[in-house]
Amino acid sequence: MGGLNVNSRVLSGMRPTGCLHLGHYHGVLKNWVQLQQQFDCFFFVADWHALTTHYEDSGIIADSVWGMVIDWLAAGVNPGSARLFIQSHVPEHAELHLLLSMVTPLGWLERVPSYKDQQERLRERDLATYGFLGYPLLQSADILIYGADKVPVGEDQVAHVELTREVARRFNHLYGREPGYEEAAEAAIKKMGKKNARLYRDLLKRYQEQGDHEAIGVARALLAEQQNLAMSDCERLLGYLEGGGRMILTEPEALLTPASRMPGLDGQKMSKSYGNTITLRENPEAVREKLRTMPTDPARVRRTDPGNPDVCPVWQLHCIYSGDEVKDWVREGCTSAGIGCLDCKQPIIESVLAELLPIQERAREFEQDPGKVRAITHEGSEAARDVARETRDEVRQVMGLNYT
């Protein structure tokens, strides 16, 4: 395990719309626990985002917020390493969202794939709202207000991070130019010497005219090597390269979370909407019952029929929870009808219970001490606000809104 990389800031959020389950644990939370050891992390409850789709039944948001924070803590997210907070407790997100909305073309939001998709998928909700259209821009504000450069998200959110990059670029382009900026940049280029200056101009051209992103990487490396450039010149030239002036808002990159392979009880991806979950707080008896009754190879009707693990959802769970020895025992026993499906499920039941036990113990401690959970998020919000205010102040300033 490497040391803490303080130059990278990670930000991610989760919408509070119900109980967390093993899919969240394997797909997201274990990843957060890893990241908090390496990076400066900010994790927050995206309650405003939940409101964009659940404004008619907002009660579920209030019911889920604290439980979600408890689930994070129980899963090992550590408030000593990561800042945990609630979006609406940091109103600076909303101010940045509003300011960004002034410079964001409508078409950029209308073209985000999740916009039309979700409207169609959630037909029972009226999502023809201003707030829902702005969902990805609110997400951009979440990210940009912390200058986060890494955003762990699933595949479905990558387009939102992409939009964030575009919005940041546009903002920097509009507001990052100091007076006399181009002259200062030209003077800085000359300081690199003839050869490097030519190289830099080439890279600049490749990026600006051909949109060649690789050129930026090369130019960054080139700038990092320059001994006789002051820090400020270096930054100026980096900004110049990216199409604007100074970088005020940082362009983030998506840290793609490997698609959660956590199958649900029916073999489809575990998800609340499929009703195939085991929640993190599921009591042990319910866990046993759900696993005992989960479907198996449909062709294996009688105990004496041999089965095929490749078409069985139980096998998929063995792939997550069992070692080679158990897996060999399953394949052999299943295909020869040597074991029954209940025998086969037993090791899974034990593994899931063993996995949930410490999580549930910690969850119980936090449940019994709600004051502590509130104190943790309160401290997290204060720490987050300190960072968010700095960005907000700078944004106000460059936009010319710093009259007092």
The binding site for ligand TRP (CB under 6 A) comprises 11-13, 15, 46, 49, 139, 142-143, 151, 153, 157
Choose among ligand TRP, ligand SF4, none what residue 300 binds, the Cβ cut-off being 5 to 8 Å by kind: ligand SF4
- Cα–Cα distance for residue pair 250/60, rounded to 1 Å: 34
Site for ligand SF4 in 336-365 (CB under 6 A): 339, 341, 344
Choose among ligand SF4, ligand TRP, none what residue 54 binds, the Cβ cut-off being 5 to 8 Å by kind: none
Q: Considering beta carbons, is residue 221 or 319 the nearer one to ligand SF4?
A: 319
Helix 341-367 vs helix 313-321: crossing angle, to nearest 10: 60
Give the count of beta carbons closer than 10 Å to the beta carbon of residue 186.
11
Q: Considering beta carbons, is residue 126 or 305 the nearer one to ligand SF4?
A: 305
Let me know how many helices (H) and strands (E) the chain has, helices first: 19, 5
Instruction: Please identify, among the stretches 43-51, 111-119, 311-319, 358-366, the one whose residues bind ligand SF4 according to the rule CB under 6 A.
Output: 311-319
Q: Considering beta carbons, is residue 181 or 329 the nearer one to ligand SF4?
A: 329
Choose among ligand TRP, ligand SF4, none what residue 13 binds, the Cβ cut-off being 5 to 8 Å by kind: ligand TRP
Check binding of 300 to ligand SF4 (CB under 6 A). yes
Check binding of 263 to ligand SF4 (CB under 6 A). no
Token pair listed for 198: 């030519």
Instruction: Please identify, among the stretches 103-111, 120-128, 263-271, 306-314, the one whose residues bind ligand SF4 according to the rule CB under 6 A.
Output: 306-314
Q: Considering beta carbons, is residue 32 or 171 the nearer one to ligand TRP?
A: 32
Site for ligand SF4 in 33-72 (CB under 6 A): none
Q: Considering beta carbons, is residue 25 or 315 the nearer one to ligand SF4?
A: 315
H or E segment to which residue 8 belongs: strand 5-14
Phi/psi at 8 (nearest 5 deg)? -110, 135
Choose among ligand TRP, ligand SF4, none what residue 153 binds, the Cβ cut-off being 5 to 8 Å by kind: ligand TRP
Q: Considering beta carbons, is residue 148 or 280 the nearer one to ligand TRP?
A: 148
Choose among ligand SF4, ligand TRP, none what residue 133 binds, the Cβ cut-off being 5 to 8 Å by kind: none
Choose among ligand SF4, ligand TRP, none what residue 309 binds, the Cβ cut-off being 5 to 8 Å by kind: ligand SF4
Check binding of 291 to ligand SF4 (CB under 6 A). no
- Cα–Cα distance for residue pair 129/134, rounded to 1 Å: 9
H or E segment to which residue 36 belongs: helix 30-38
Token pair listed for 140: 């951009």
- Cα–Cα distance for residue pair 268/346, rounded to 1 Å: 21
Q: Which residues, 6 or more positions from 359, have their beta carbon under 8 angstroms from its beta carbon?
A: 25, 74, 75, 280
Residue from the set 79, 245, 309, 347 that interacts with ligand SF4 by CB under 6 A: 309
Phi/psi at 302 (nearest 5 deg)? -100, 160
Amino acid at 113: P
For 195, counting Cβ atoms within 10 Å of its Cβ (0-12 exposed, 13-18 middle, 19+ buried), the class is: exposed
Q: Where are the alpha helices (DSSP H) in 242-340?
A: 284-292, 313-321, 324-335
Residue from the set 51, 188, 334, 356 that interacts with ligand SF4 by CB under 6 A: 334
Check binding of 330 to ligand SF4 (CB under 6 A). yes
Q: To the nearest 5 percent, what fractions of the chain are helix, strand and coil?
A: 60, 10, 30
| SS3 per residue for 157-191 | HHHHHHHHHHHHHHHHHHHCCCCCHHHHHHHHHHC
Instruction: Please identify, among the stretches 92-100, 251-259, 307-315, 368-376, the one whose residues bind ligand SF4 according to the rule CB under 6 A.
Output: 307-315
Residue from the set 10, 14, 237, 312 that interacts with ligand SF4 by CB under 6 A: 312
Strand, helix or coil at 84? strand
Q: Considering beta carbons, is residue 15 or 83 the nearer one to ligand TRP?
A: 15
- Cα–Cα distance for residue pair 138/358, rounded to 1 Å: 35
Compute the least distance from the CB of residue 357 to ligand SF4, in Å.
23
Q: Considering beta carbons, is residue 142 or 297 the nearer one to ligand TRP?
A: 142
Nearest residue to ligand TRP, by Cβ distance, number only: 13
- Positions touching ligand SF4 (CB under 6 A) are 296-297, 300, 307, 309, 312, 314-315, 330, 334, 339, 341, 344
